């Protein structure tokens, strides 16, 4: 079960764990975002899907995330990238939920599809192959 959603602020925070992290292939989506720092979340577990990871709302020993402050238009762009559908969040590839970080509550994209048979990352971070 995901963490309860709370009101979105004018400058929402997003916690990223895969190709959106600094130095990886999709980080350019966050070029205008303010990097706040790194954290470890125990409210999510990562699964290695090969070209990218998926997060599920399962307890872990701490998975690595980077936290960014984003504008509403930038968040909407990330929603398109992650196939998050505001009106039908379970119909796309990801839904998002608020998770606690050291920088405050942040949106985390959670994978909607099964991850059976995928390598599990319960501590540390995902690394591209």
What CATH number corresponds to the domain at position 109? 3.10.490.10
64 is catalytic: no
> Per 3-state DSSP, what percentage of the chain is helix, strand, and coil (rounded to 5)?
10, 35, 55
pLDDT surpassing 60 at residue 6: no
The mean per-residue pLDDT over the stretch 89-108 comes to 95
pLDDT surpassing 90 at residue 76: yes
From the candidates 58, 64, 66, 82, give the one annotated as an active-site residue. Answer: 82
Pairwise CA distance, residues 17 & 40, whole Å: 10
- pLDDT digit string, tens, across residues 15-57: 999 999 999 999 999 999 999 999 999 999 999 999 999 999 9
Number of domains comprising the chain = 1
Print the domain residue range for 89: 13-124
Which pTM value belongs to this model? 0.90
Is residue 57 included in any domain, yes or no? Answer: yes
């Amino acid at each position: 079960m995901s963490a309860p959603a709370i009101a979105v602020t004018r400058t929402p925070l997003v916690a990223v764990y895969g190709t959106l992290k600094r130095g990886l292939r999709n980080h350019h989506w966050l070029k205008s975002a303010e990097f706040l720092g790194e954290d470890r979340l125990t409210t999510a577990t990562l699964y290695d899907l090969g070209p990218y990871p998926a997060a599920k709302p399962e307890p872990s020993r701490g998975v690595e995330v980077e936290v960014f402050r984003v504008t509403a238009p930038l968040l909407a762009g990330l929603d398109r990238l992650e196939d998050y559908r505001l009106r039908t969040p379970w119909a796309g590839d990801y839904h998002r939920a608020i998770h606690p970080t050291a920088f405050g509550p942040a949106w985390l994209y959670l994978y909607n599809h099964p991850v059976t048979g995928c390598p599990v990352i319960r501590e540390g971070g995902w690394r591209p192959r």
